[in-house]
């Protein structure tokens, strides 16, 4: 059974999470370590969850509890455990834990990997919103990334799109 356990940087498993974050996401798709650690330990809206299957560490997910919805920021499984259903298990555990709307960002479907990722989230019950969405840079001098949002927990986000985008921009990326 897959379990999500919230951890802080003092947890012995945090190094596993941080290493997996570094190996799974390029530097432009994550904040610097000091800021990430600060959010993990001090931001009441931000949660870092270790995903385990019994005693095996399988991955992690970071989550923001925002104004009326949840934003899943990073999700990764250990490279040696990929393609074994753990990613889907993490998403299902997240959906069981978070009742309501869950939002996440995905690359636009421009190559095989981005198409596969979108289809993975579709199989997990998410819908693709193709409205123009630009991810602000995580770092000073960084590049913006053209992405799409995906969502679950509601039939559509059309009426809430601007509010959701503004909330993510303001709380997660600290811009507006």
Determine the pLDDT at residue 176: 67
Can you tell me the distance from the alpha carbon of 5 to that of 65, in angstroms, rounded to the nearest whole number? 16
Report the relative pairing of strands 102-107 and 2-6 from DSSP bridges. Answer: unpaired
Domain count within the chain: 1
Q: Which range of residues forms the domain containing residue 112?
A: 2-172
How many other C-beta atoms can be found within 10 angstroms of the C-beta atom of residue 111? 10
Condensed to tens digits (0 to 9), the pLDDT of residues 25-80 reads 999 999 999 999 999 999 999 999 999 999 999 999 999 999 999 999 999 999 99
**pTM to 2 decimal places:** 0.96
Q: Is the pLDDT of residue 158 over 80?
A: yes
118-136: average pLDDT: 97
Q: Tell me the DSSP string of 121-157.
A: HHHTT-EEEEEEEEEPPSSTTPPPEEEEEEEESSS--
Between the CA of residue 69 and those of 79, 92, 108, what are the distances in Å?
Answer: 29, 17, 22
pLDDT confidence tier of residue 113, bands split at 50, 70 and 90: very high
**What CATH number corresponds to the domain at position 167?**
3.40.630.30
pLDDT confidence tier of residue 1, bands split at 50, 70 and 90: confident
């Amino acid at each position: 059974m897959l379990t999500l356990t919230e951890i802080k940087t003092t947890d012995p498993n945090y190094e596993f999470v941080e290493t997996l974050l570094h190996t799974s996401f390029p530097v432009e798709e994550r904040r610097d370590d000091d800021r990430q650690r600060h959010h993990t330990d001090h931001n009441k809206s931000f949660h870092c969850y270790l995903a385990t299957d019994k005693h095996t560490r399988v991955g992690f997910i970071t989550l923001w509890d925002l104004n009326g919805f949840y934003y899943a920021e990073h999700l990764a499984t250990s490279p040696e455990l990929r393609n074994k259903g753990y990613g889907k298990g993490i998403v299902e555990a997240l959906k069981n834990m978070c009742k309501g709307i869950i939002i996440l960002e995905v690359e636009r479907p421009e190559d095989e990997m981005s198409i596969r990722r979108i289809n993975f989230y579709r199989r997990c019950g998410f819908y693709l919103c193709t409205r123009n969405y630009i991810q602000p840079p995580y770092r000073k001098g960084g590049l913006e990334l053209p992405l799409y949002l995906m969502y679950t927990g509601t039939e559509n986000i059309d009426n809430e799109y601007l509010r959701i985008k503004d909330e993510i921009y303001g709380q997660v990326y600290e811009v507006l």
